[in-house]
Amino acid sequence: MRQAGRYLPEYMKIRSKNSDFLKLCFNPDLAAEISLQPIRRFDLDFIILFSDILVIPYALGQEVKFLKNHGPHLNSITSKKDLNYTNLNKSLDKISNIFETIRILHAKKNKKNLIGFCGGPFTVLNYMIEGGTSKTHSKIKAFIKNKREQANDIIKIVTEISIEYLKKQIESGANYVQIFESWAGLLEREEYIEFIIKPNQQISEKIREFSKHTKIIHFPRGSRKNYKIFAEEVQCDVLSLDQTYPKELPRYLREKGITVQGNLDPQELLKDADRVEEKTKEVLEKFKSNNHIFNLSHGILPKTKISNIEKVIKVVRDYETSR
């Protein structure tokens, strides 16, 4: 969950010399270096590709910028006609440097597994319609309610390119792929089935057909009770969780052979070391009967102390050794 980023001084040093975030994502040497920074510092178990979920709107011809102290900014669209999308391969060519980054990481990863990723189709659509980050998400809610056909048209395109994007990542050396459906919690009932379940189902099925050995991680953040429906309907090797999920879910995942990933609240990492240790142990105990990849429930916050990251890692490794 943002292993490489704003809390690491070595990352900030590179960032200070590279103000254009998107260009940094498309610089294979620097993106590979950033991906490896937390591995060198902490010897974590997985390497995570340094990139961004909004490379997909960019590939589809939408203007994407990252503004200082603001975050992502996209020119808002209302239909697929607003996209410059005529050919899948041409669109992927616009972001082909990412595959070079993965090839560099594959050559340097030693025995580590490498995780590639993309945004979930609804989450990407959300940014495309809202034009960036939103507190109310009023535009996307109105769009899927009043312009359902246009919403499905764009979701279909995003799903199609996401599948091919992940295939290219796998071909380049990714061992796992993760689909971040970060705004799944905005939807309920039939909208959840239509815009969350079905596109993610399609991605998983196509990736499984393409590569039976690649592990698939899904993170439908904020799904609450719908986590169970997601796990029932979408093929996944790993299901990543935030704090709120049905109490019977860990048992269900254990019975289905699905690994749990999660779910320490990143806010806890801003507190004192004793509290960090206590909360880390709570997560480990909660999932001790499951196959479990320890993780955060969202990205590491900028003001997180490196000593607290080190504390978490030590607690997890000591716990594993003691079992």
Q: Please check whether residue 114 lies inside any domain of the structure.
A: yes
Q: Please check whether residue 231 lies inside any domain of the structure.
A: yes
Sheet with 215-219: list strands edge to edge: 46-48, 113-119, 176-180, 215-219, 238-240, 259-264, 292-296
Rg of the chain over CA atoms, in angstroms?
19
List the domain range (segments joined by +) for residue 167.
Answer: 9-240
Burial class (CB in 10 A: 0-12, 13-18, 19+), 315: buried
Give the DSSP H or E segment for 117.
Answer: strand 113-119
pLDDT in tens, the chain (323 residues): 778 889 999 999 999 999 999 999 999 999 999 999 999 999 999 999 999 999 999 999 999 999 987 889 999 899 999 998 889 999 999 999 999 999 999 999 999 999 999 999 999 999 999 999 999 999 999 999 999 999 999 999 999 999 999 999 999 999 999 999 999 999 999 999 999 999 999 999 999 999 999 999 999 999 999 999 999 999 999 999 999 999 999 999 999 999 999 999 999 999 999 999 999 999 999 999 999 999 999 999 999 999 999 999 999 999 988 87
Q: Please check whether residue 4 lies inside any domain of the structure.
A: no
Q: Please check whether residue 265 lies inside any domain of the structure.
A: no
- Predicted local confidence at residue 86, as pLDDT: 86
| 64-67 and 71-74 strand pairing | antiparallel
- Predicted local confidence at residue 106, as pLDDT: 98
Q: Please check whether residue 316 lies inside any domain of the structure.
A: no
Q: Please check whether residue 295 lies inside any domain of the structure.
A: no
Residue 33's closest CA among 19, 45, 15? 15
Burial class (CB in 10 A: 0-12, 13-18, 19+), 190: exposed
> Structural domain tally of the chain?
1
Q: Please check whether residue 311 lies inside any domain of the structure.
A: no
Q: What is the CATH number of the domain that holds 208?
A: 3.20.20.210
| Helices assigned H by DSSP within 114-267 | 121-130, 138-146, 148-172, 189-192, 198-210, 226-233, 249-256
CA 293/CA 213 separation, integer angstroms: 18
Q: Please check whether residue 99 lies inside any domain of the structure.
A: yes
- Predicted local confidence at residue 105, as pLDDT: 98
Q: 3-state class of 71 per DSSP?
A: strand
Residue 13 tokens read as 């040093």
- Predicted local confidence at residue 323, as pLDDT: 78
- Predicted local confidence at residue 1, as pLDDT: 73
- Predicted local confidence at residue 84, as pLDDT: 87
Q: Is the peptide bond before 263 cis (omega within 30 degrees of 0)?
A: yes
The DSSP-derived string for 121-157 is: HHHHHHHHHHSB--SS-HHHHHHHHH-HHHHHHHHHH
- The residue with tokens 């939103």 is 134
Buried b (16+ CB within 10 A) or exposed e, 108-147: ebeebebbbbbbbbbbbbbbbbbbbebeeeebbbebbeee
- Predicted local confidence at residue 73, as pLDDT: 96
Q: 3-state class of 221 per DSSP?
A: coil
Judge whether 203 and 156 are in contact, CB under 8 Å: no
| Helices assigned H by DSSP within 43-120 | 55-59, 88-93, 97-108
